[in-house]
Amino acid sequence: LLCPCLIYGAYIFLPFDAPLLPTVSARLVYTLRCAAFATFPILLGMIVSGISRLCSSALEPFGELHHEVEIHRTYVSQSIHLFILYFFNMAVLATYLPQELLKLIPLLTGLFAISRLIFWMSYAIGRSFRAFGFSMTFLPLLAMLLWNLYGMFVLEPESLLS
């Protein structure tokens, strides 16, 4: 329930609009530029993972990892997988959205970045707390996937393969 409320509130109250994007290629470039900001939590996780690996007291670099190092490594791995799914769904979504709704692309990107950071912090606290951050990432991804499937098979089935 929190994700739709956050997206709706940001859509209504944040004072910016998407630029005029008449072509599909311009929309995809806009999505690509927005998605670059979603890589910030992943890059931060890679840096912290590298630093924690360097600072760990393990004598064997390829041996068993400490819990702190394992947390960061798992976060980076899961974030990369979710980012790939998120980016492809946003790219398809950008092709179906009308011009007045293209403001959702940067808002969904910001939600992804914030939710991954929340997941990382809650995962470091304990495994039982990570469901909130994961659901803030996964449920918008699922909603985008369902909307994309609806758009492909119901709204525009004649242009599915073209």
- Complete DSSP assignment for 10-41: HHHHS---PPP--SHHHHHHHHHHHHHHHTHH
pLDDT tens, 101-153? Answer: 888 899 999 999 999 999 988 887 877 778 888 888 899 999 999 998 888 88
Q: Where are the domains of the chain?
A: 22-160
Q: For the full predicted model, state whether its pTM sits above 0.75.
A: yes
Find out if CATH 1.10.3470 is the number for domain 22-160.
no
- Exposed / middle / buried, residue 73 (Cβ in 10 Å: 0-12, 13-18, 19+): middle
Helix (H, G, I), strand (E, B) or coil at 59: coil
Q: Tell me how far apart the alpha carbons of residues 151 and 9 are, in angstroms, rounded to a whole number.
A: 24
Q: What percentage of the chain exceeds 90 in pLDDT?
A: 38
Contact in structure between 114 and 37 (CB atoms under 8 Å): no
